Amino acid sequence: MTATDPALTALAQGWCALSLLHGRIESHVERALQAAHHLSVREYALLDVLSRQHAGQGGHLQMKQVADAVVLSQSATTRLVTRLEDRGLLARYLCPTDRRGIYTNVSEAGLALLEAARPTHNEALREALDSAATEPELAPLVRVVRQRGSRIGEL
């Protein structure tokens, strides 16, 4: 394959379109969450992921699992957890069966903020997708996102 190979060109164009769609969605949702709730997209995602934990087998996530779920490094996730803990939105505690393990739970204030922010997040996501769907290079990607979302009951 050469640098001018049509397959490579198509792949690069597809990647650029995906990157553009992601950036637009994230920017739109970020502005909406910041304006209405003083939350970043990453903070919202972290609260959302942690709110879905449960007390049963495998219900509490380790920091690596949380980092993977919010698509951040472990160190960035730890800093984010600390910021939200300082705001009273999260609380950390030692794992009762492994003293080396530390779990993080969303506080009542964090749950209240998450529930208040959820409609803002969902509406901003819909708006960003609707806008992107009008652009020919992004419309196929929007269809895929919506198909995936409809299968899990979100979009």
What is the amino acid identity at position 3?
A
Tell me the pLDDT tens digit for each residue of 31-48: 999 999 999 999 999 999
Q: Is-contact 116 37, C-beta < 8 A?
A: yes
d(CA 72, CA 155): 24
d(CA 112, CA 96): 27
Q: What's the CATH code, domain 23-151?
A: 1.10.10.10
- The pTM score is 0.86
Ordered by start, the domain boundaries in the chain are 23-151
Token pair, residue 4, equals: 């001018």
Residue 94 has what DSSP assignment? E
Helix pair 41-51, 6-37: axis angle to 10 deg: 80
Which residues on neighbouring strands pair with residue 105, listed in sequence order?
91
Residue 107 has what DSSP assignment? -
The backbone region for 54, taken as left when phi is positive above 0, alpha when psi lies in -120 to 50, beta otherwise, is beta
Tell me the pLDDT tens digit for each residue of 81-139: 999 999 999 998 887 777 777 788 999 999 999 999 999 999 999 999 999 999 999 99
What is the amino acid identity at position 148?
R
